[in-house]
Every structure is written in C-alpha cells, then in structure tokens.
Amino acid sequence: MDNLSKHVDDYKSLKTTIKDFEQKLKSIEEKIKSQMGDKEEIIVNGNTIRWKTIVQNRFDTTAFNEKHPVLYEEFLKQSESKRFTIT
C-alpha cells in the first residue's frame, strides 16, 4: 500500500501542476487574442495563428423531450462509464 500512497500523492501533485500550467496557457492565449483584435488569422515568426468563429448545429434534446416525450423515451439509449477521481 505504500506504493499506492506514493502514486496518489504523485497524481495529486501532477494534477495541480497541470492546472497551474493550464491557467498560464489560458492567460497567454487571452493576451494573443487581445493583440489580434478583430483579425481571424495572423502570422508571427512563421506560426499561423487562427481565431475563427465556428458555427455548429446541435440537437436540442430538452426542447425535443418537451414537445415529443414519447418519442424521446423511445429513442433514449442508456450508456455506462466509470469515472476516476481522487479527492
């Protein structure tokens, strides 16, 4: 069990480090976006940077369920997964 305890400590430490790096990365990303202004694409030091609007169509299951509850139930498919967490 000592080995497992070390793995848990290492895991939690790395998760914290990753979160810190993700926050730093997000901050840098926001600075880049700010300097891009309304441009969708720029080139800096040979790197192409794109910040484009993407339009997606998604199925509104809540609205469909409200208007067609019988059909919604008929096509509902149950799925199962496992979630790994350490708190």
Q: What is the pTM of this model?
A: 0.73
Convert the pLDDT of each residue in 46-84 to its tens digit: 999 999 999 999 999 999 999 999 999 999 999 999 999
Is 31 inside a domain boundary? yes
Is 80 inside a domain boundary? no
Convert the pLDDT of each residue in 6-34 to its tens digit: 999 999 999 999 999 999 999 999 999 99
Is 10 inside a domain boundary? yes
DSSP the chain: -HHHHHHHHHHHHHHHHHHHHHHHHHHHHHHHHHHHTT-SEEEETTEEEE----------HHHHHHH-HHHHHHH------------
Domain encompassing residue 29: 2-75
If one counts the domains in the chain, the total is 1
